[in-house]
Amino acid sequence: MFTGKTINMGVIGNPIAHSLSPAMQNAGIQAAGLDYAYIAMPVLNENLRAAVEGLRALGFRGFNVTIPHKQAIMEYLDEIHEDAKIIGAVNAVKNENGHLTGYNTDVTGFIEGMKQQGFSPSGKNAVLLGAGGAARAIIWGLIKEKVSTLTIGVRNTAKAQPVADYFSQYMHIQVLNWDSPEFAARLPQAHLLINSTPLGMTPHTDAMPPVNWDLIRPDTFAYDIIYTPAETLFLKTAREHGCQTLNGEAMLVGQGAEAFRLWTGLTLPQAPMAAALRAALCPKA
């Protein structure tokens, strides 16, 4: 039951009706017995500045930011956290007495998902498949965790090289064509193998990046940031090879829980958040 004391939060984007954040966050809020409400709010590009000022004036404790506003919103905020600055995108905004700070919680969501499974990337050799939109948060997370080496395997090295060059001030990142012998030579050394491409996502579930699994160690941790389906062909193959696996649900739930912690200082239970996410993704007939 919402009251005059209910604290408001939400997510802005365009379109926004498909967002899973309200179901996920409200499930965590309800399980924790808190007097908060989280809603989805459609915001057109031309109304972004007005929306930000409106949320500030209305006293929203915090809000998530999704496509297409993750970069554009930065100029309307009072402060940008280091992670968001380096990644170049904001996905969560904290309102502290009218002072708006932008964060990127994908870094924490990505890393904490692995750690909850007992795997730490620190000092490990990591191989990342793909260098698209999600890759920057993943790369920065791996750098912060001090991976030993990082190799990016892609179809088009010319497109991916600028991403590696951008992060070169923090560590050397090798970009290789994933069909090349040089890339194949990196696979037996990988402790962590990450798919950040959309290959294998519903409805194209019969696809995955070209990995020679004969070269992969059975103790390699295989992480696919896709969460539909719950087990991609990439993860199924990895599991059958003996690898420990993790899908993108952990990252999605983790980034949401981290945003709530930043806004409130409180920790939401992630199990009901994950259950609500899966229920929203696979509703019963």
List all residues 6 or more positions away from 60 whose beta carbon is below 8 Å from its beta carbon.
8, 9, 10, 95
Confirm whether 7-104+250-281 and 108-247 share one CATH topology: yes
Check if 115 is active-site.
no
Q: Quick one: which of 90, 70, 67 has its CA closest to 18? A: 67
Q: Which token pair is 95?
A: 């309102």
Q: Quick one: which of 185, 128, 172, 133 has its CA closest to 154? A: 128
How far is 65 from 149, CA to CA, in rounded Å?
Answer: 32
Q: What are the extents of the domains in the chain?
A: 7-104+250-281, 108-247
Which CATH number does 7-104+250-281 carry? 3.40.50.10860
**Overall CATH class of domain 108-247:** alpha beta
- pLDDT 10s per residue in the chain (285 long)? 677 899 999 999 999 998 999 999 999 999 999 999 999 999 999 999 999 999 999 999 999 999 999 999 999 999 999 999 999 999 999 999 999 999 999 999 999 999 999 999 999 999 999 998 889 999 999 999 999 999 999 999 999 999 999 999 999 999 999 999 999 999 999 999 999 999 999 999 999 999 999 999 999 999 999 999 999 999 999 999 999 999 999 999 999 999 999 999 999 999 999 999 999 988 664
Q: Catalytic pick from 70, 85, 115, 124?
A: 70
